[in-house]
Amino acid sequence: MIIIGSDHGGLNLKTALISYLKRRNIEVTDAGTNGDASVDYPDFGRNVAETVAAGRAELGILICGTGIGMSITANKIPGIRAALVTDVFMARMAKEHNNANVLVLGGRVLDEQKACDLVGAWLESTFEAGRHQGRLDKITALEQKYSR
């Protein structure tokens, strides 16, 4: 299951991605927002990231205006590897090399087709492990060292 959340700047793209995921027969949970009123992206980023970190969703997708705020927020949650991507190569590498469990997109940066292409590339990619696992282990060690 994928959990997806956005702020007001990512609402339209989130709606399009939910339809895209459902057409692919992927179970998706909408974590909000569901209106165009201004909201605080950290609230939605935290919810999605905590849900993935707790194992209640396999993957997460976050969308705000640029994706930057959601990316910063999600990466504060231990166990989250959130990747802000803008092209298909980045989306593939996010999974293949970094095993990103949260994909972050910019709702004011990407059109619907491009966003669907990025999500598709990410979902169709597989973590390569090998030398990349050692690098992720170093990230986890940093996370543990600086977590309070």
99-145 tens-digit pLDDT? 999 999 999 999 999 999 999 999 999 999 999 999 999 999 999 99
Question: Are residues 102 and 61 in contact, defined by beta-carbon separation less than 8 angstroms?
Answer: yes
Domain of residue 77, CATH code: 3.40.1400.10
Cβ(107)–Cβ(11) below 8 Å: yes
pLDDT in tens, 13-53: 999 999 999 999 999 999 999 999 999 999 999 999 999 99
Please work out, in degrees rounded to the nearest 5, the angle formed at the alpha carbon of residue 118 by the alpha carbons of 81 and 116.
125
Sign, CA dihedral 13-79-140-72, equals: positive
pLDDT at position 147: 85
| pLDDT for 19 | 98
From start to end of the chain, where are the E strands?
A: 2-6, 28-30, 59-64, 82-84, 102-106
What is the model's pLDDT at position 109? 97
Catalytic site positions: 64, 97
Q: How far is CA 3 from CA 43, 133, 144, in A?
A: 14, 25, 25
* Count: domains in the chain: 1
- The residue segments making up the domain with residue 137 are 2-146
| CA dist., res. 25 & res. 12, Å (int) | 20
Averaged over 75-94, what is the pLDDT? Answer: 98
- Give residue 5's pLDDT: 98
